[in-house]
A and B are shown apart, each in its own frame.
Chain A
Amino acid sequence: MTDTQRRMKSGSRLERVLRSGRFAVTAELNPPDSADPGAVYDAALVLAEVADAINATDASGANVHMSSVAICALLTRAGYEPVLQIACRDRNRIAIQGDLLGAAAMGVRNVLCLTGDDVTAGDQPQAKRAFDFDSIQLLRTARIMRDKGMFLSGRRLDVRPKLFLGAASNPFVQPYDWRPKRLAKKIEAGADFIQTQYCFDVPRFQKFMQQVRDMGLHKRVYILVGVGPLRSDRAAEFIRTKVPGVEIPDEIVERLRKTPTEKKQEEGKRICIEIIQQVREIEGVAGVHVMAYRQEELVADIIEEARLLPRRKRQDVPRKTEGEQEMLEQRASTARTEQ
């Protein structure tokens, strides 16, 4: 066993990539409203080519979709590397600890601990909110399970879940000065990596990173910057007014507005690539997290055009049998033609 391997907390691919100092790429999978596992594989196929890990969202925006635990279980079966997102909104501490163990048993090695959007943001605002934990308490609990080998109650685990623990950060909303402090709190609670909210305001992010570096936090946690393409100025307008916590500066919306309709999507992609290239230069940034909601087919292009490729040999991407690979590719191509 090498020294690095011994220091590994989870041994996940994402952890290895980050520890090796390579610029990491994660991507968000659009969870299906379907009971068909094929829908998950279709969505994963276009991302896996370029992503070190795939995030499975936990009813993001409080809209119900296939559960993140199930998506992750399907992904690990096919040899993909998932990041399990767990929000505190829907489950109490009993359910969450059970899910952490179950997911680890299914081969999940990365977890992103979130507070979660409020139920009122989704299509079932009548629901009861749990919020038994907040994201920091969830992080600490996951770390206790991993490092102390026990539940929160103190009851011993036979086998510890080997997890690489992630947390979110949103540098783009108030109170700005508190955001680096909250990040520090998350690191203290147990965060190994951070995936930020969508970054459209690079100067704001630079200010945040300056504070992060002043506090020395970038040496204690891997920060992946959230990015994504905007389909049009209307989409941008919708996102910044309806999606909690996403700030899009007027210049970007204006730039899209001035672009002719048929070129808007291309321009949105261009903006995303520019942002990746800018944040990549910032000291303390360890990677990007691409969230291309309903434009997943663009992710590979974005990563390639941002010159983050080639960085990896093809064969160590999905460990699948030839038959499976063929089936998945077929599915993906039919899905593409249907669009």
Chain B
Amino acid sequence: MSVRNWIHNRPHALEIVYQFTEWVFYRLDPLFARIGYDRTDRLIRPAEELGKKLTFDCRMCGQCILHSTGMTCPMTCPKNLRNGPCGGVRSNGHCEVKPEMKCVWGEAYERSLDMSVYGHEMTMLQPPVNRRLEGTSAWVNMLTGVDKEVPEGWVSVEELSATA
């Protein structure tokens, strides 16, 4: 889809839009809290799903990390990799699983180079996906903080090196 590509290839503009939307959502948080997050989810989800599906081919994992992955949805990688490309990339830079598709992570990496705000987050270690959030609004999950919850045993490098 050429419109999608056109949008995709402006990663810096996208990250600014993201930054702005995030700000708006946090500003509106008291309102959403009043309405109730469940109800907000029902209200926002259809628009979020439609918008993100059209622009990013979003898979509604419910814990969006688009801005940390070069404004490229990692769930569109057939292996759902969230920490970078696998070793199966073809010599033309296309996907091992879908030969007609460019490697999602190859695109993510290139785009991240143009992203002055969030580009560096590509190197962040992404925790395992919480599969229970599938199909829910990532914006609402961001407000409730449930998208940042990690399994109890998941620890940071600092914590690990302190005990190892």
- Tell me, yes or no, whether A binds B: yes
What A residues does B58 contact at CB under 8 A? none
- Count of chain A residues with Cβ under 8 Å from any Cβ of B? 49
Alpha-carbon distance A70/B82, docked complex (angstroms): 30
| A245/B83 contact (C-beta < 8 A), A137-B128, A152-B128 known | no
Interface with A: B8-16, B27-35, B38-46, B91-99, which one? B91-99
Task: Judge if B19 is at the interface, Cβ distance under 8 Å.
Answer: no
Alpha-carbon distance A333/B44, docked complex (angstroms): 70
Complex interface bits, A26-40 against B, C-beta within 8 A gives 1, otherwise 0: 000000000000000
Task: Judge if B87 is at the interface, Cβ distance under 8 Å.
Answer: yes
Task: Pick the most buried of B84, B87, B110, B152: most chain A CB atoms within 10 A of its CB.
Answer: B87
Task: Judge if B151 is at the interface, Cβ distance under 8 Å.
Answer: yes
Inter-subunit contact B85/A175 (CB<8 Å) = yes
What A residues does B87 contact at CB under 8 A? 115, 168-170, 173, 197, 244-245
What B residues does A168 contact at CB under 8 A? 87
Alpha-carbon distance A153/B155, docked complex (angstroms): 11
What A residues does B131 contact at CB under 8 A? 132
Task: Pick the most buried of B86, B110, B123, B154: most chain A CB atoms within 10 A of its CB.
Answer: B86
What A residues does B1 contact at CB under 8 A? none
Alpha-carbon distance A132/B75, docked complex (angstroms): 12
Task: Judge if B53 is at the interface, Cβ distance under 8 Å.
Answer: no
Inter-subunit contact A131/B80 (CB<8 Å) = yes
What B residues does A152 contact at CB under 8 A? 128, 151-154
Measured CB to CB, the closest approach of chain B to A312, in angstroms, equals: 30
Inter-subunit contact B83/A185 (CB<8 Å) = yes
Task: Judge if B88 is at the interface, Cβ distance under 8 Å.
Answer: yes
What A residues does B81 contact at CB under 8 A? 115, 131, 134
What A residues does B164 contact at CB under 8 A? 9, 147
Alpha-carbon distance A136/B124, docked complex (angstroms): 11
Partner of A175, one of B97, B105, B160: B105
What B residues does A134 contact at CB under 8 A? 79-83
| A178/B84 contact (C-beta < 8 A), A148-B155, A148-B163, A189-B125 known | yes
What A residues does B84 contact at CB under 8 A? 136, 178, 181-182, 185
Alpha-carbon distance A144/B127, docked complex (angstroms): 13
Contact residues of B between 103 and 124, Cβ < 8 Å to A: 103, 105-106, 109-110, 122-123
Measured CB to CB, the closest approach of chain A to B75, in angstroms, equals: 10
Inter-subunit contact A154/B153 (CB<8 Å) = yes
| A185/B155 contact (C-beta < 8 A), A118-B97, A137-B128 known | no
Measured CB to CB, the closest approach of chain B to A27, in angstroms, equals: 19
Q: Which residue of B lies closest to A97 (CB)?
A: B153
Partner of B96, one of A129, A182, A189, A244: A244
Q: List 5 A-B contacts (CB under 8 A).
A: A147-B163, A148-B163, A155-B153, A169-B87, A245-B86
Additional 13 contacts, C-beta under 8 A, given A136-B126, A245-B87: A117-B88, A121-B88, A140-B154, A141-B128, A144-B153, A144-B154, A147-B160, A153-B151, A173-B90, A174-B93, A175-B85, A175-B89, A175-B105
